[in-house]
Amino acid sequence: TKANLIYHLRHEHQPPYPAARLVNRLDADSAGVVLVALDGPTLRHLQQQFENGGVMKQYWGVVHGVPAPAGGVIDLPLGPVTGGLVPHRQGVAGAPGVTSVKAAVTRYETVQVAGAYTLLRLEPLSGRTHQLRVHLAAIGHPLLGDALYQMGDADYLAWCEGTRPGQDDPWLTRQALHCCQTRFQHPQTGAQVTVFAPLPPDLAALWTQLGLPSDQPPAQVMEVMTDQAIEQPPLPPQPGTSQTCP
């Protein structure tokens, strides 16, 4: 887990990095690239890049259905849903209970259609909570495995408690969302760096089930867009574990 990684860097790694901290986070049960700063100046530099929109993040997501058009921009402000039974749920402006919205923009592109599902390349142009999940559900194509944004409050809580049968999604117990690459400016050299994360085992198995390439990402998805590239192992939830209810 991310907590175990930080503990290892601070206390077990030689040399230790007592100031190691996460620069960014992923939604619970999402997988992919997470950046770690080993000292305070690096942390502040990278956090400032995130705040100023200087970091590019690209995701793969498998959604229900086939979006039309095949690509475009989703521009829907988002905010927390108040008065509901489920904490942390987000919604689009104008939906019942949604307050204090902020601008949120997502670019998407169809990579491959696989029967009733579609692999999308996703690029959040803003950094709102659950942005990709809410935007995709709002256009009628929720992420495969995303219980929170496919169920109403009562059904979702019952599912969390184990009193409601699982979803119809046959392969996953979490959302099919993977941060495959993150691009940023190196804090010391100023060079553009891209960090890639390969698919974790459960998503690789899903890719195989759907006939998507699991050993080599589609070329149009994994474009080398910078002058440096670093490949790191993913930090996914363990395959077969249950989805975490927020």
Residues annotated as catalytic are 27
Q: CA separation (Å) from 100 to 9, 81, 97, 134, 245?
A: 38, 9, 10, 15, 23
> What are residue 122's phi and psi, to 5 degrees?
-125, 140
The encoded tokens of residue 128 equal 């709102």
CB-CB contact of 208 with 172 (8 Å): no
By the 8 A CB rule, do 124 and 132 touch? yes
Beta carbons within 8 Å of 9's beta carbon, 6+ residues apart: 16, 17, 20, 36, 38
Q: What residue type is assigned to position 147 of the chain?
A: A
Q: What's the gap between Cα 168 and its chain centre?
A: 21
